[in-house]
A and B are shown apart, each in its own frame.
Chain A
């Protein structure tokens, strides 16, 4: 037998999948066409950018509805078109998908806002506010799931945070003390989850659900027993004041949205930054991630897996509890039965869409907040769409964005799996 010398192999590469550019182009074409055709010929849409006092005030922008809808739809189509060559080069489609989403939303707004005033800056500010508890919840989810404990309990932790924050602030007549109490409540609920999950190895989803029921029942009971009996004493917390940060809050558009808020929002910036850095740059984060990915490996180098998980889950509870305070001390000013209304579960979705990354989860939570607020604003200004569709449409946009932005998601390797030694 004769043998010829080996040649260095180069794997043949198949052409990249066209699914995403096709979906992007199709949605730009179909949705764009719908928005253009539905927008009235002779109406005008007014986009308002001013909110509060800023350095430079941007004049309102008044445009013929159909022209605007067409313009934005074309811009969306351009974004979709750009995606093709980038996809061919296997580059990241983040920017084109983001642009596509933004322009489609603008095109949509040009149609539904025909003959009315659209407060764009207000829309964004409201989105951020709706997103705040989601972001805290998502950070709690990231912390505990990165350590390998599924946290279905975020909803309950938000709720007890909201409750205790309101009660303490009301009793002691100081909103900031309420802000201290809220994370304690969340941490206590987290402690229960931690004990059952890491000491008794009970199924984490089941414990989470049970603890949610506990939180609803407990706060509901105390609410009707005390808070409704004597609301002035128990349920009358002052709302945290907004603190405008000098200079920064004067930046047009962004200033009032980001830097004219109450202290919980600023704490949110801090928490997201700290979680992101601590998780990926510190010993604490490395160990936390190792017990969530492959606890056997962590154990074999002498890391106490269940203790690490225990602490992470309690910390997560505290973060969610703090977020819960936003419902009472940051906005409404009083506790209401089951007032978290599923935010904890949406936060969990944000964790997954954000691929278990703090920054990703932040972006996902903001997107959900925007979807929610868009629907609020539209039902206020009165739009041509039946309200049922209004409730649906933001989520359609969200799903499209997710198709474009999220690729393969992979949970931490040992997420939800108890670690038992023999």
Chain B
């Protein structure tokens, strides 16, 4: 199926998210869309999928202009989309999610979920996408949820599959599996649109690349042989250095001491099991591991966000386990949560307000219970400029920002206080190369100023770029603590559960 976008323009108020974009997706090709955060990639795909209505422009399917008033039209035309934020109902089973909207029913509208389960199994077998149709989606790891999304599109006989940042939350192994699945789909003659920020993947999988910047196409029919550095500068519009300079280490006293920390889930299982470690001033400790091995819960427990944890945590001279999260943050702990959408920002608040979220009750932002909005707005505007947040001004609601810009807002807030310890969970997930460079610089800068830094990451590249020491977690326990001169293969093995001896 050939898909043509002609002159698509989409505005949100004053902001032109897509500015006269024309691009053609051919069958049997993997077409990569590259672009920095907020470039307008998701917007363009949402227009194509009928979720947004364009202000101008045309969608042409196999030579025939079509108008999609809702996704139903796009689905009927054979377009399937795997969204950046999964479109799965968490409490439904895989089969229920797959059949939703296209149910096969008996008399009185009784569901034939068994039919859906069979369809899932058929597609699973055909494209080697193993999923259990009866599993409840929220119990599945993100990698499998991703597959469910693809299965969902394929059971609807999609001829064109759009994948919007499908690998942002996947582990390296899961990414490799996904890419081979996508190649299989291409070889079956489907039209594939792949959006990703990971240049390695683009070079590996794409047949042709289109680059978008600030809502416009800046390069088309780019060959996948183009070097990563060149692609990066096309995306961002300037030279990007893919490795951060890291001055040599000057460690101080331990700022954080964790002793026999365990965290339990609602079923009383130990997700973090008897973990002890130190973080010293001026070092970056990377917590590496495959997603779901207790790293997230570990840092949540450190900042007092987990109500079922035991063990001893000291920040400098002060014992902090049992303190409230606010109490811990006030002691000079900066926290960049893994899920910036839900935990990092208040979407309906302005950027300026989000920048002082945890200190708004204190001087100088408020005095005697009266908030000084002038000062807060000024601060917001300054931070926006300093951290290069792409937004019209500090008054816009945080929810309208693109992923990378949201992350910059969180970082700006956390790093504008004086810190002793900075905890950043997946700080560059979903960010473009330019933003990654920026975030990494900020983290290294914090380290240079003598802050102890914990970075949780599932990306090996990031771990190697930042870490002074690497703590590998597996199944809630410490599989090993190693230095960054460890080989990739050994690190991979540790992450897969081997132990050092």
A contact residues vs B (CB 8 Å cutoff):
1-7, 9, 11-17, 90, 281-284, 286-287, 289-290, 293-294, 296-304, 408, 413, 421-422
Contacts and interface: CB of A to CB of B under 8 A. Distances in A.
Interface residues of B, number: 56
A300 B486 contact: no
B71 A14 contact: no
Given A9-B497, A283-B103, A300 B83 contact: yes
Contact of A15 (B88, B266, B268): B268
A422 B108 contact: no
A402 B414 CA distance: 42
Interface stretch (B90-98, B126-134, B455-463): B90-98
Contact of B111 (A5, A283, A302, A408): A283
B475 A422 contact: no
A293 B97 CA distance: 12
Most chain A beta carbons < 10 A, residue from B71, B101, B269: B101
B51 interface: yes
Contact of B70 (A5, A302, A413): A302
A304 B70 contact: yes
Contacts of A90: 267-268
B80 to A, nearest CB: 10
B235 interface: no
A294 to B, nearest CB: 5
A99 B477 CA distance: 42
A6 B500 contact: no
B90 A294 contact: yes
A293 B92 CA distance: 9
Contacts of A296: 85, 87
Contact of A302 (B52, B72, B88, B497): B72
Given A11-B270, A283-B111, A408-B266, A302 B89 contact: no
Contacts of A12: 262, 269-270, 273, 476
A301 B89 contact: no
Contact of B71 (A3, A284, A302): A302
B499 interface: yes
Interface in B95-120: 96-97, 99-103, 105, 108-111
SS class of chain A's interface: helix, strand, loop or mixed?
loop
A422 B12 contact: yes
A356 to B, nearest CB: 11
B111 A286 contact: yes
Nearest to A301: B101
Given A11-B476, A300-B71, A422-B52, A3 B101 contact: no
Nearest to A296: B87
15 contacts: A3-B499, A3-B501, A4-B498, A11-B269, A11-B270, A11-B271, A11-B273, A11-B476, A282-B108, A286-B103, A299-B70, A301-B102, A302-B71, A302-B72, A421-B51
Nearest to A3: B498
Nearest to B482: A1
B81 interface: yes
B292 to A, nearest CB: 12
B269 A3 contact: no
Contacts of A290: 89, 92, 100
Contacts of B273: 11-12
Contacts of B90: 293-294, 413
A319 to B, nearest CB: 18
B109 A301 contact: no
Contacts of A299: 51, 70-71
A294 B83 CA distance: 14
Contacts of B109: 282-284
Contacts of A302: 70-73, 75, 101
Contacts of A282: 105, 108-111
Contacts of B100: 286-287, 290, 297-298, 301, 303
B501 to A, nearest CB: 5
A290 B103 CA distance: 13
B494 interface: yes
Contacts of B477: 9
Given A286-B111, A293-B91, A299-B70, 10 more contacts: A1-B486, A3-B498, A286-B96, A287-B100, A290-B100, A293-B89, A294-B87, A300-B71, A300-B81, A301-B71
Given A3-B493, A282-B105, A297 B498 contact: no
Interface in B52-93: 52, 70-73, 75, 81, 83, 85-92
A2 B500 CA distance: 6
B349 interface: no
A3 B490 contact: yes
A12 B111 CA distance: 40
A212 B74 CA distance: 42
Nearest to B104: A283
Given A298-B101, A302-B101, A14 B70 contact: no
Nearest to B96: A286
A10 to B, nearest CB: 8
A192 B71 CA distance: 28
Contacts of B51: 299-300, 421
B335 interface: no
Contacts of A293: 89-92
